[in-house]
Amino acid sequence: MDIGGYVMLGIFILIALYAVIIYNNLVSLKHGVSKAWSNIDILLKQRFDELPKLVEVCRQYMSYEQDTLEKVMCARSQVAAAQQNQDMKSLGQAEDMLRVGLGNLFAVAEAYPELKADQTFRHLQSRITGLENAIADRREYYNECVNRNNVRIEQFPDVVIAHLFRFGPFELLEFSRRELQDVDVRALFS
């Protein structure tokens, strides 16, 4: 084999190594998205388990507010269905409904001093608020992972490897404009 053959072999080996590095990076990004989703999934399940407890404590005090409690439980079911299907668009919409329902529930609870003083209610309210904050943090991280993946599979030369091995884009977990707007606190108390 002459020098030209060795050069060609060397170039081929470098290109093959570069393709392997790109492939491994794409696999890492794909699994990063899956891991970020798993973190959200765990928190959603924890909140799913806590909400019936909160509603039951509220039900004991809030006999006239059944509609508010039912809306929270309905939204909880919609979140669970969207979560099960990993349907990010539906999950974003269901999360919006659940947040509105919880906001209304906590606002209505202000009218019940015995409920506000109940240790179990305060604990559950604090726990759910903490889970909401953690979910928001994890959503941000999930969307960052999705964005990194989606950008990489569109960039050259990664797009060639992504297309060859069928690496696809993931859907961002987005929320309605209503959730991004300021909350009208007066409306919650009227």
Structural domains of the chain, with CATH: 3-188 (1.20.1440.20)
Given a contact cutoff of 8 angstroms between Cβ atoms, the answer to whether 143 and 173 are in contact is yes
- pLDDT value, residue 158: 95
Question: Which alpha helices (H) appear in 62-166, and where do they start and end?
Answer: 66-85, 88-109, 113-117, 119-152, 158-164
Give the pLDDT confidence score for residue 37 in this predicted structure: 95
Q: What is the mean pLDDT of residues 13-29?
A: 96
Q: What token pair was written down for 165?
A: 């091995």
Q: What is the pLDDT of residue 188?
A: 41
Indicate if the pLDDT at residue 190 is higher than 90. no
Phi, psi of 176 (to 5 degrees): -70, 160
Predicted pLDDT of residue 150: 97
pLDDT digits (tens, 9 = 90+) for 101-160: 998 888 888 888 888 888 888 899 999 999 999 999 999 999 999 999 999 999 999 999
What predicted TM-score, i.e. pTM, was given to this entire model?
0.79
Under 8 Å CB-to-CB from 86, ≥6 apart: which residues? 37
Q: Which residues contact 57 (CB under 8 A, 6 or more apart)?
A: 115, 118, 120, 121, 124
Which helix (H) or strand (E) covers residue 16, if one does?
Answer: helix 3-61
Alpha helices in 62-87 (DSSP H): 66-85
